[in-house]
Amino acid sequence: MTTNSIHGMWSSRLMFILAASGSAVGLGNIWRFPYVAGENGGGAFVMVYLVCIFLIGIPIMVSEIIIGRSARKSPINAMAAAASKSAVSMKWQLVGWMGVVAGFMILSFYAVIAGWVLSYVFQLGSGVFTDSSSELAEGIFSNFVGNVWEVLAWFTIFLVSTILITARGVSSGLEVAVKYLMPILFCLLIALVIYSATTSGHFMEGANFLFSLNFEKLTWNSILVAMGQAFFTLSLGMGAIMAYGAYMPKDASVIGTATTIALMDTGVALMSGLVIFPLVFANGLESAAGPGLMFITLPLAFGQMAGGQLFGCIFFVLVAFAAITSAISLIEPAIAWIVEKQKTSRHTAALTVGGCVWLLGLGSVFSTNIWSDVFIFDDMTFLDSMDYFTNNIILPLGGIFIAVFAGWVLSNKILDNELMHDGRYYPIWKFLCRFIAPVGVSVVFIMALLQGK
């Protein structure tokens, strides 16, 4: 069995945890979780999301790590290697291909939202939000996203930074970002929760919205969205964690590591919700405001607090870093594959991938301005459609394949070897992977399809 990857290795188990949490914690937690929870009625949605994290997400994360680590190659080649070692069809590597395509699609809109975040660093720093009203904050947001050149410029800056970091390799750069910036982000979020709890006057209303179960609002489509959010937030279903798993040291418990990552990620998402919803209610905003939610509530709050201009600016800088450590993992599978296949340098590979993502991303750049009335599915713009299609369809589908592959196909020799530090959790993982994850995802798919939107 190979022990090292040609792309380099994480220096320790902790480094893997940091890198994988860097991938998991991102816009999905701070921007997407609150707004999809808001659009889908809160409490019951959040519960379904949590169930999906634990019963489906963690087992699939473990599967991705096992497959990646046993092969020490990019997801496409890791799937091929694992299939050949288990003596099954090489078609399984199509799962790796699907993941590469999904990564391009996700990054193409992810980088646009991250561009919004970058621009907000400067908007907050400039003090335009000081003592602003909700109308003003809403106005600033819609003016900004309506300006095609500005959105394009910030999107490009974000994507170029991602490409530059990725080109340098997995450990330099990334290690620093996750080791120092993530803990600071965590602390700032805690401070914001406390601020929201003590000053908004609507903390309980916000907490109730997030945690009280009202099942009337729960449709099969919102269950699908909750499940999609669980995949998205844990970076599952497209090989990102598989790619990172390939650089993970051998002597670490896989299930324990995956659970740690999932708990951290969930903690950040719930905290973001606890910051944002009290502010929504305190300022008479709409909980179902959609993708702009974070860009309106947070600047408002920073505008009202002492020192908010500085804190707001720092907060958005940290969110931008969280986004970049996630963005890197979205293209790592493609880049690692190109390096393995073409024997080209990481630089060339990163540049090629970046160029493709930039072109595709133009559709999302235009979605809030010149193409704001171009709808692809139903009433969804290009950006919304990319987001909906990747998160709710491709990732869960990739997840089913990965779970079935790890649970039913992968040889016992590989499993025993990879899970030797996991003792009594091994059978539980196997059960969830074989039955609960594939059946759960399939049922949600079928019901959502039957029920329509």
- Which alpha helices (H) appear in 219-345, and where do they start and end? 220-233, 240-245, 254-282, 293-304, 308-342
What are 312's two structure tokens?
Answer: 């707001």
CB closest to ligand TRP, residue no: 28
Cα separation values, 324 from 134, 371, 433, Å: 29, 26, 30
Q: Closest approach of Cβ 307 to ligand TRP, in Å?
A: 27
Return the residue of 9, 28, 218, 311 that touches ligand TRP, per CB under 6 A.
28
Nearer to ligand TRP, 48 or 230 (CB): 230
What are 99's two structure tokens?
Answer: 């993941």
Nearer to ligand TRP, 29 or 63 (CB): 29
Q: Closest approach of Cβ 302 to ligand TRP, in Å?
A: 21
Q: Closest approach of Cβ 238 to ligand TRP, in Å?
A: 5
235 binds ligand TRP (CB under 6 A): yes
Nearer to ligand TRP, 28 or 43 (CB): 28
Burial class of residue 13, CB neighbours in 10 A (0-12, 13-18, 19+):
middle
Q: Which stretch binds ligand TRP (CB under 6 A): 51-59, 88-96, 125-133, 322-330?
A: 322-330
The DSSP code for 380 is -
* Whether the Cβ atoms of residue 112 and residue 88 lie closer than 8 Å to each other: no
What are 130's two structure tokens?
Answer: 């000081």
User: What's the rounded Cα separation, in Å, for the pair 87 and 180?
Assistant: 44
27 binds ligand TRP (CB under 6 A): yes
Nearer to ligand TRP, 27 or 293 (CB): 27
User: What's the rounded Cα separation, in Å, for the pair 214 and 219?
Assistant: 11
Can you tell me which residue has the tokens 């074989």? 434
The DSSP code for 89 is -
Can you spell out the DSSP letters for 323-369?
HHHHHHHHHHHHHHHHHHHH---HHHHHHHHHHHHHHHHHHHHHTTT
238 binds ligand TRP (CB under 6 A): yes
Q: Nearest to residue 38, comparing CAs of 301, 290, 230?
A: 290
Q: Closest approach of Cβ 84 to ligand TRP, in Å?
A: 25
Return the residue of 5, 29, 40, 385 that touches ligand TRP, per CB under 6 A.
29
Q: Closest approach of Cβ 182 to ligand TRP, in Å?
A: 13
User: What's the rounded Cα separation, in Å, for the pair 316 and 332?
Assistant: 24
266 binds ligand TRP (CB under 6 A): no
Return the residue of 15, 17, 24, 100 that touches ligand TRP, per CB under 6 A.
24
Cα separation values, 17 from 25, 251, 422, 423, Å: 12, 13, 16, 20
181 binds ligand TRP (CB under 6 A): no
Q: Closest approach of Cβ 22 to ligand TRP, in Å?
A: 9
- Site residues for ligand TRP, 89-118, by CB under 6 A, read 106
Q: Closest approach of Cβ 256 to ligand TRP, in Å?
A: 20
Nearer to ligand TRP, 238 or 314 (CB): 238
166 binds ligand TRP (CB under 6 A): no
Can you tell me which residue has the tokens 């090489």? 90
What are 222's two structure tokens?
Answer: 């919102």
At residue 365, what is the residue type?
V
22 binds ligand TRP (CB under 6 A): no
**Alpha-carbon 373 to chain mean position:** 27
Return the residue of 230, 294, 330, 383 that touches ligand TRP, per CB under 6 A.
330
Binding mask 362-401 for ligand TRP (x = CB under 6 A): ---------------------------------x------
Nearer to ligand TRP, 318 or 395 (CB): 395
Binding residues for ligand TRP, per CB under 6 A? 23-24, 26-29, 106, 232-233, 235, 238, 240, 326, 329-330, 395
